């Protein structure tokens, strides 16, 4: 579920998660499945590299860890598709490890609470925020406090500490939030380098026969990923058209 929730809202993921578990109830079944079967269940969820990484992750867990997920965030982060923040979320929820998460929502909460105004485009400044996040973690009763703390931060960022028009009046951290006291929570986090985005216009040829069968072709793939829908089936792209 943590990999599905990367860049996707909970309401969108719920149905996919249930269907996925029905077909692949165990890591071994996912590891043994053909990639096309995995991708078919992911169809419509987007960010398809996550599905490929999830498949590779299951294979690695079965082949290298005896089918059991590692219990530490450091080792979890070595698995395909699991970065530092996702590894910490898994470790804190499942194993009560004292590990900090720092996804986009949590960055927003912490930079506002701390009035951390350093530019997160800088690797050095982001590392400093990671250190602050680690220092703020609970120190007692970790079996209970770590899952609650981690879930609380995630929920605050998703529902109250929003990018625009945060609901500061109902936020349980209002009294501690330096940005709220300053009256400028929307000024945080600071990140001057914006993500470069591009757009493409495609013409797709939808070819079918009298029985309704569609013509599909495999999208280019090198090492598992190259461009949009890499390695997946799609209607032919007519390169002759603008």
| DSSP-derived 3-state class of residue 204 | strand
Tokens representing residue 51 in the block: 């599905």
User: Do residues 120 and 193 touch, judged by C-beta distance below 8 A?
Assistant: no
128: enclosing H helix or E strand: helix 123-135
Q: 150, 113, 111, 103: which is closest to 128 by C-alpha?
A: 111
Q: Is 2 a catalytic residue?
A: yes
Tokens representing residue 86 in the block: 């996702």
Q: Measured between alpha carbons, how far is 91 from 86 in angstroms, rounded to an integer?
A: 9
Query: Which active-site residues does the annotation give?
Result: 2
């Amino acid at each position: 579920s943590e990999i599905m929730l990367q860049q996707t809202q909970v309401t969108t993921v719920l149905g996919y998660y249930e269907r996925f578990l029905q077909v692949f109830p165990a890591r071994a079944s996912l590891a043994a499945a053909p990639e096309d079967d995995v991708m078919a269940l992911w169809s419509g969820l987007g960010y398809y590299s996550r599905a490929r990484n999830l498949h590779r992750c299951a294979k690695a867990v079965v082949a290298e860890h005896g089918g059991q997920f590692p219990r530490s965030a450091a080792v979890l982060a070595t698995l395909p598709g699991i970065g530092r923040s996702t590894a910490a979320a898994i470790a804190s929820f499942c194993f009560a490890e004292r590990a900090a998460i720092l996804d986009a929502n949590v960055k927003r909460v912490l930079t506002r609470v701390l009035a951390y105004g350093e530019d997160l485009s800088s690797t050095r400044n982001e590392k400093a925020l990671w250190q602050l996040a680690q220092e703020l973690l609970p120190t007692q009763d970790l079996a209970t406090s770590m899952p609650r703390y981690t879930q609380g931060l995630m929920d605050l960022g998703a529902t109250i500490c929003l990018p625009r028009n945060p609901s500061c009046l109902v936020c349980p951290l209002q009294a501690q939030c330096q940005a709220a006291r300053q009256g400028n929570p929307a000024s945080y986090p600071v990140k001057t380098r914006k993500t470069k985005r591009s757009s493409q216009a495609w013409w797709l040829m939808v070819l079918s026969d009298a029985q309704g069968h569609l013509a599909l072709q495999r999208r280019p793939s090198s090492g598992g990923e190259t461009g949009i829908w890499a390695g997946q089936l799609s209607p032919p792209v007519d390169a002759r058209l603008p």
